[in-house]
């Protein structure tokens, strides 16, 4: 059980994370440290955060449903890779000793923060118009990359969106709205099966998940409605600062 104060803290963190995801992404860098601060072991905090943020991915897919017409042909392969890789990543987390995962966490956080930093430049590049029609080219290298991304998504998850966009750019997609729709299918598969696995294995704390689910849902709606008033750039700066501080703190804690 958690106290009312802890529940309120988790709700607030999830609310802000939902809003951040709606505006700029990177919500995991808010929910994960909130759980750590309450004393949850790193692996439990990671699993709980994954489950709590999953409804936001469903909302994203719903919002992008108008762009799914051009993505339906890609859906079966993406769902197959996403769910199988996500399940493998989630299984891997359950097999990782807590002490080992705590050593890995700082590098995962710092890596996710770097991915978050390059997200905007990459998105601008992908929005550049190209001549001719899109030609989707599935190569063994891209399929392997997507499988690795899915495994990473099931294991930790922060930054999975930008990794997926990079892989889709290699496939040959250029329309950013279509790419986001395809990305939503892929990440929802990877994180959805990981969330189910964590719940079935008892890794996600159900009491902590409940206020976070409510916070994520409300925060996503509020972020979509009012996020532009804050400014995407300001939101990104705050998330990057949190990621760097958290990564450095965890690095000192793990190896200091």
According to the model, what pLDDT value does residue 127 have?
54
Total Cβ atoms within 10 A of residue 232: 13
According to the model, what pLDDT value does residue 131 have?
46
* Chain segment 182-227, per-residue pLDDT in tens: 888 888 899 899 999 999 999 999 999 999 999 988 887 776 566 5
- Does the pLDDT of residue 125 top 70, yes or no? no
> How large is the average pLDDT for residues 99-109?
89
- Nearest-Å Rg of the Cα atoms of the chain is 17
pTM here?
0.80
According to the model, what pLDDT value does residue 8 have?
94
* Chain segment 168-181, per-residue pLDDT in tens: 877 777 676 677 77
Distance CA 66, CA 178 (A): 9
> How high does pLDDT run on average in the chain?
81
- Highest mean pLDDT range out of 53-67, 129-143, 192-206? 192-206
> How large is the average pLDDT for residues 47-54?
91
Could you tell me the pLDDT band of residue 250, with boundaries at 50, 70 and 90? confident
Total Cβ atoms within 10 A of residue 235: 21
According to the model, what pLDDT value does residue 169 have?
76
- Alpha helices by DSSP H, 38-175: 42-63, 75-95, 98-126, 140-155, 160-171
- Does the pLDDT of residue 22 top 70, yes or no? no
Could you tell me the pLDDT band of residue 119, with boundaries at 50, 70 and 90? low
Distance CA 98, CA 134 (A): 45
Distance CA 183, CA 191 (A): 12
State the residue for tokens 């909302």.
Answer: 59
């Amino acid at each position: 059980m958690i106290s009312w104060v802890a529940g309120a803290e988790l709700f607030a963190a999830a609310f802000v994370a939902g809003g951040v995801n709606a505006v700029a992404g990177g919500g995991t860098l808010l929910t994960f440290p909130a759980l750590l601060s309450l004393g949850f072991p790193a692996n439990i905090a990671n699993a709980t955060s994954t489950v709590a943020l999953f409804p936001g991915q469903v909302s994203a897919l719903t919002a992008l449903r108008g762009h799914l017409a051009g993505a339906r042909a890609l859906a079966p392969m993406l769902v197959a890779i996403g769910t199988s890789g996500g399940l493998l990543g989630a299984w891997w987390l359950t097999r990782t000793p807590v002490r080992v995962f705590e050593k890995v966490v700082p590098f995962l956080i710092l890596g996710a923060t770097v991915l978050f930093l390059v997200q905007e430049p990459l998105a601008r590049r992908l929005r550049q118009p190209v001549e001719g029609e899109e030609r989707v080219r599935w190569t063994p290298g891209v399929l392997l990359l997507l499988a690795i991304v899915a495994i990473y998504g099931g294991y930790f998850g922060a930054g999975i969106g930008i990794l997926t966009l990079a892989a889709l750019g290699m496939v040959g997609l250029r329309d950013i709205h279509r790419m986001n729709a395809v990305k939503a299918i892929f990440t929802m598969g990877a994180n959805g099966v990981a969330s189910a696995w964590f719940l079935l294995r008892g890794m996600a704390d159900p009491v902590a998940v409940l206020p976070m689910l409510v916070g994520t849902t409300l925060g996503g709606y509020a972020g979509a409605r009012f996020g532009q008033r804050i400014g995407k750039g300001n939101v990104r700066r705050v998330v990057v600062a949190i990621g760097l501080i958290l990564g450095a703190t965890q690095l000192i804690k793990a190896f200091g």
